[in-house]
Amino acid sequence: MELDLDMLKRMVRDIISTRPDEIGCDECFEKLDRFVELELAGKKAAEALPLVQHHLDHCDDCREEFEALLAALRATA
Ligand SMILES: [Zn+2]
């Protein structure tokens, strides 16, 4: 059987580029309200939603969003 090199290269690239333990901005934003809720409740948001915490550590945009949301909710609480 002859190997299809192009197919093989695509497969390898898929494996390398796929990081199931990381989420994108959309998913982070979807979970952000839950994350903030936990944070405000004094619970360990980072432990409950480690992927969100991880994203916030690496994404300035979402970090800003998170801090703004947190500040807004604290102000209304
Ligand atoms: Zn982000």
Inform me whether the pLDDT recorded for 2 exceeds 80. no
Predicted pLDDT at 40: 92
Distance 25 CA to ligand 1 centre (A): 4
Distance 69 CA to ligand 1 centre (A): 14
- Integer Cα distance of 77 and 74 in angstroms: 5
Structure confidence by residue, pLDDT tens digits, 7-53: 888 887 776 665 556 899 999 999 999 999 999 999 999 999 999 99
Q: How far is CA 49 from CA 13, 14, 17, 66, in A?
A: 28, 26, 22, 13
Distance 73 CA to ligand 1 centre (A): 20
Tokens of 8: 């093989």
- Integer Cα distance of 17 and 67 in angstroms: 30
Residue 76 confidence class, pLDDT cut points 50, 70, 90: confident
Range with the poorest average pLDDT among 4-8, 60-64, 65-69: 4-8
